[in-house]
Amino acid sequence: MGEGENLTFAYPSGGFTLRVPALSLAPGERLAIVGPSGSGKTTLLNLIAGILQPEACRIDVAGTDVTALSDADRRRFRARQVGFVFQNFALLDYLPARQNILYPYRISPGLRLNAEAHARAEALAKASGIGDKLDRHPGALSQGEQQRVAICRALVTEPKLVLSDEATGNLDPESKLRVLDLLFERAEDAGAGVLAVTHDHELLPRFDRVIDFAEFRVGQPV
């Protein structure tokens, strides 16, 4: 599904350097990354998604070496192969839920908004329990419903990898379990692997594998 070797990244301003000797994710696997704040968890997600470029290494996602792609190709690759779920949901307040789910099609040249995409968005929303709320704006949805919309947006393009950055961090204990289960179910339906950054140790038993960035920082392969 995905793997990286000798990942090294440093911000130009200095003060932080991330070094990962090896990282792999099997197809459909649910991998959690835990660790203290500032240990580079979000940076790792940005490197895998091709938002940041590592100094030297190879990152293979679904058979594509992300580091070898041009900027435009990385954007296209990200739109097609990677789904993002954010802690703050990152929904657009001026678009109704349906259009929020279809938002990647509005901004990426690699995706074509057609009837199939619309049908997929409807099916995802229905399966996520928000099928009757597609015409509501985010302001008219609960936090749990907003995160369901965000999950639908991450999966509507049928990506091979879903990157989740503290996706349940803003939810109450009951909702976060339901939303995480929903994310796993929908990703499994789509055949996508899930790489999730979390601080919440209660959720870790639900993952197939957990990487502690505290260990990871000592340079051991994971």
Binding site for other proteins (CB under 8 A): 46, 49, 51, 71-72, 75-80, 82, 84, 86, 88, 90, 92-95, 99, 103-110, 113, 137, 153
State the nearest-atom distance from the C-beta of 205 to other proteins, in Å: 29
Task: With CA atoms as reference, report the closest residue to 8 among 59, 42, 63, 83.
Answer: 59
State the nearest-atom distance from the C-beta of 156 to other proteins, in Å: 11
State the nearest-atom distance from the C-beta of 106 to other proteins, in Å: 4
Contacts of 25 (CB under 8 A, 6+ apart): 1, 2, 3, 31, 161, 193, 195
Question: In this structure, are residues 193 and 207 in contact, taking their beta carbons and an 8 Å threshold?
Answer: no
Between residues 91 and 179, which has the closer beta carbon with respect to other proteins? 91
Between residues 75 and 148, which has the closer beta carbon with respect to other proteins? 75
State the nearest-atom distance from the C-beta of 130 to other proteins, in Å: 19
Cα distance between residue 160 and residue 165, in whole Å: 17
State the nearest-atom distance from the C-beta of 165 to other proteins, in Å: 9
Between residues 102 and 179, which has the closer beta carbon with respect to other proteins? 102
Contacts of 65 (CB under 8 A, 6+ apart): 58, 59
Cα distance between residue 162 and residue 35, in whole Å: 19
Between residues 95 and 177, which has the closer beta carbon with respect to other proteins? 95
Question: In this structure, are residues 102 and 117 in contact, taking their beta carbons and an 8 Å threshold?
Answer: yes
Cα distance between residue 171 and residue 177, in whole Å: 9
Between residues 79 and 210, which has the closer beta carbon with respect to other proteins? 79
